[in-house]
Amino acid sequence: MKKGRININITAIFLYSAFIAFSFVIKFNPGKEIGYTFFTFVLFMIKILPCAFILIGLFEVWIKKEKVEKHLGKDASMLSFLWVILLAATTVGGIYVAFPVACSLYKKGANLSVIFAYIGAVGLCRIPMTVFEASFMGVKFSLIRLFVSLPLVIISSIWLGRYLEKRNYTMMECMK
């Protein structure tokens, strides 16, 4: 990161913190609500992320690269999309955990199309989210949404993966 960028980030954090503190001093309710929401979000992240990163670390150590390449790599079948959808359904922490998992899959040799399908499926079919949705919108609605959305995610991830592979795309930040 460049030095100017760091100064901008520190300034933004300082201004945000000053706004929250000032809101509590003058009893400005929108600012107080923003502060409460931020605090609850931070507590949620403190609960979820350490466990998730421990599991990702164990995945890095315990799962062999050959296994990932066999089931999710370039020569894998269409069954690989089912595997990542099942993995996405059990992902806890949403997109905050999905990107490190996707990076780990990439390091282990997973196909870009499969990785994109995983990231898309995390946003669509996590089990707690789907159960919550079904309780409010109905099971029929949830099933229709899944059966319409998942094929579109798979098709678009295949297209995007092929497009980027033709251009020899690599995730450099992930490879460090």
The domain limits of the chain are: 1-51, 63-175
pLDDT band at 6 (very low <50, low <70, confident <90, very high): low
Token readout for 115 is 């990785």
Q: Is the predicted pLDDT of residue 45 greater than 90, yes or no? A: no
CA distance 107 to 105: 5
> Taking residues 94-98, what's their average pLDDT?
83
Cβ-based neighbours of 65, under 8 Å, separated by 6 or more: 108, 109
Helical pair 95-107 and 29-62, crossing angle rounded to 10 deg: 20
Cα distances (angstroms) measured from residue 6 to each of 12, 75, 153: 10, 43, 36
pLDDT band at 4 (very low <50, low <70, confident <90, very high): low
Q: Would you state the pLDDT for residue 3?
A: 56
Q: Would you state the pLDDT for residue 175?
A: 59
The mean predicted confidence, pLDDT, of the chain is 88
Q: Is the predicted pLDDT of residue 172 greater than 80, yes or no? A: no
| % of the chain residues with pLDDT over 70 | 95
Q: Is the predicted pLDDT of residue 10 greater than 90, yes or no? A: no
Cα distances (angstroms) measured from residue 108 to each of 50, 71, 105, 152, 175: 22, 11, 5, 26, 10
